[in-house]
Structure 1
Amino acid sequence: MKLKCIAIDDEPLALRLIARYVHQFPELQLVQTFEDAVSGGEYLKNSPVDLLFLDINMPDISGIQLARSLETRPMIIFTTAYKKFAFEGFELEALDYLLKPIDAKRFAKAVEKAIEYFRYKNAAPEKQETSLYVYSEYRMIKINLDDIEYIESMEDYIKIHQQNAKTILTLMPLKKVLEKLPADKFQRVHRSFIVAVDKIRSIHNRKIQLAGAELPVSETYMDFVRKWMKFK
């Protein structure tokens, strides 16, 4: 199945470059290009697409304004010459953020991410339990569930601690990320912590020992501790 995509950019040269890059991917189908956000927005009202390449700094309305106005928002890869718009892109959960002049390898990386995320969203439920997608560092990133050791709440943010990769900080409540995780592999053990069950080395005196940390267990979640110890 091809991903339908459009590109909106007020620079004709940029549009031609994006079109050339897109045609290198058999998974993508570029159905239309637009040199102004108004025309592109009108098209999107009646013709939903899977992926939108969207310039931010345009003379009529900005790409940010257009993205915010869309009732049904496709995956978005922002293209711009200005780094200062990165936070706005993050707020809109942009898939990626490409700086002009757009490098072919960097473009390919963003598109591969879009293809992978599209497959993830449309996969059967049992196939969605190997990875987690979150927004961090102004773009969407993929985290392998097997790499997660535990997740820590930081008020409105969470820290995803991994054994074989760097810690990821993302804007998301602990309750929401728990809903995205398979219940047989991850358990909440405290109001501030979720633990990967298979990473637990031992539990003693309401303390969970992991390879890289020690987590407290609150009274609310002692049932999990008793079940874990029963089967060990």
Structure 2
Amino acid sequence: MPLKCVAIDDEPLALQLIREYVSRVDGLQLIQTFEDAVAGSEFIRNNGIDLLFIDINMPDVNGLAVVRALEKKPMIIFTTAYRQFAFEGFELDAVDYLVKPISFERFSRAVRKAREFDHYRRRALSDADDSLFVYAGYQLLKIPFASIRYLESMEDYVRVHRDNDKPVLTLMTLKSILEKLPADRFRRIHRSYIVAFDHISGIQGRKLRLMSGEELPVSDSYTNVVDEWKRYRDL
């Protein structure tokens, strides 16, 4: 089944290039293109699509704002002439970020990532997988929730600490990754840490001790987590 795509860009030549590239790639179906971001976002709200190619720096509205406003988001590939927006793009869980001028090779690589993500997403839904999917080293990794001890913020990245395996570094924020974790099993305890309740062995003062022997601080804003863990432990 082809991925249904929409492209939004205020530059007609940029849209023409997207149309040409899509026509050269099997498995993509370009449903519509828009120079007007408002009309494009309205179309997406009313029509189910799989993949959106969208410019960031447009005269009437910022492409990042368009994506943030979408209640049901398709996969996103940002296209822009400005590298400085890259982190904000990935913070919105974009599949990829293409800097203009875009070569066909680079476009094809972004599409492969979208297909790979779509494949894993569909498999996760059909199999009811209990896992987190993240990009690391240009690969989509499946990390079972049960293997995650804690997650650590590293400025623009998050380090996922796993049982019996090396940590995984992914370009995301703690806030965005927390939304992908089951709320009954994971809690934020500090501006730099999210912890898995199943891996906590005890509490000493303002520190959580993990079964692995590691200790994590609990900040003043998250002291209620201590009582939540005690209730979770007694279930």
The residue that corresponds to 1:142 in the other structure is 140
The residue that corresponds to 1:34 in the other structure is 34
| Counterpart check, 1:168 vs 2:174 | no
- Cα shift readout 1:52-106 (whole Å, capped 9, x = no counterpart): 0000111111111211222221111000000111122123221111100112222
Q: Calculate percent identity across the aligned residue pairs.
A: 45
| Counterpart check, 1:189 vs 2:199 | yes
Amino acid at match of 1:44: I
Q: Distance in 2 between matches of 1:85 and 1:19?
A: 24
- Output aligned runs, 1:35-184, within 5 Å: 35-123=35-123, 132-134=132-134, 141-145=139-143, 151-154=149-152, 158-160=158-160, 167-169=168-170, 170-172=172-174, 179=182
| Rg larger in structure | 1
Normalised by the size of structure 1, how large is the TM-score?
0.66
**CA shift in 2, pair 1:20/1:130, >3 Å:** farther
**CA shift in 2, pair 1:187/1:107, >3 Å:** farther
Q: Distance in 1 between matches of 2:70 and 2:126?
A: 31
Q: Distance in 2 between matches of 1:45 and 1:60?
A: 19
Q: Distance in 1 between matches of 2:6 and 2:50?
A: 9
**CA shift in 2, pair 1:152/1:4, >3 Å:** same
Q: Distance in 1 between matches of 2:18 and 2:201?
A: 46
The residue that corresponds to 2:206 in the other structure is none
Normalised by the size of structure 2, how large is the TM-score?
0.65
**CA shift in 2, pair 1:131/1:114, >3 Å:** farther
Once the two structures are TM-superposed, the CA of residue 32 in structure 1 deviates from its matched residue by 0.7
The residue that corresponds to 2:223 in the other structure is none
The residue that corresponds to 1:199 in the other structure is none
Asked if 1 retains the 8 angstrom alpha-carbon contact of 2:78 and 2:97, the reply is yes
Q: Which runs of no fewer than 5 residues in structure 2 stay unpaired?
A: 184-195, 203-208, 216-228, 230-235
Name the SS for the 2:199 alignment partner.
strand
Asked if 2 retains the 8 angstrom alpha-carbon contact of 1:90 and 1:135, the reply is no
**Structure 1 stretches (4+) deviating beyond 6 angstroms?**
162-166, 173-178
The residue that corresponds to 1:216 in the other structure is 213
Asked if 2 retains the 8 angstrom alpha-carbon contact of 1:151 and 1:159, the reply is no
Asked if 1 retains the 8 angstrom alpha-carbon contact of 2:2 and 2:27, the reply is yes
Asked if 2 retains the 8 angstrom alpha-carbon contact of 1:131 and 1:143, the reply is no
Q: Distance in 2 between matches of 1:191 and 1:21?
A: 53
CA RMSD, aligned part only?
Answer: 4.0
Q: Aligned residue pairs: how many?
A: 194
Q: Distance in 1 between matches of 2:132 and 2:110?
A: 17
**CA shift in 2, pair 1:144/1:53, >3 Å:** same
